[in-house]
Amino acid sequence: MITYKLAKQLKDAGFPQKGTQGYYNNEADKICFTTDNSTTDTAGVIIEYSDPEHKIISKTSKAYIVIVPTLSELIEACGEDFGALKRYTNAWQARDFEADCPERGNIGIIKTGDTPEEAVVRLWLELNSKK
């Protein structure tokens, strides 16, 4: 998983805030997941319902929400620039295509993180800071 701070950096840098089921609720300071018992109302509030009574158990304004993308979504968002994800003893490394290409001198972007998601978030942020 990634921290709220990294998820917010993704949002601020223009990472799509849809297409995933995980989100970080900054009001409650926790990561939540939408289920079949949730919906978004017309004001953009995510509403979670209990099952089977269908009572409202929480409401969260989208202003306090940032998406927590999956590792697959992060890699896909990097597109053809993504080169590799490697695990080392104390960290993960995400590399762009240039950094993982010996024929081109292995020069490129390498970002690290405690989790694979953190490393790929940092790679995506770097790749998109140049666009």
Going by pLDDT thresholds of 50, 70 and 90, the confidence category of residue 37 is very low
Q: Is the distance from CB of 19 to CB of 66 less than 8 angstroms? A: no
- 15-36 mean pLDDT: 58
- 56-75 mean pLDDT: 69
2: burial class by Cβ within 10 Å (0-12, 13-18, 19+)? buried
Whose CA is closest to 66, among 25, 107, 106, 94? 25
Share of the chain above pLDDT 90, in %: 37
Predicted pLDDT at 59: 52
Domain ranges of the chain: 22-67, 71-129
Note the pLDDT tens digit of each residue in 84-105.
999 999 999 999 988 867 776 6
Predicted pLDDT at 82: 95
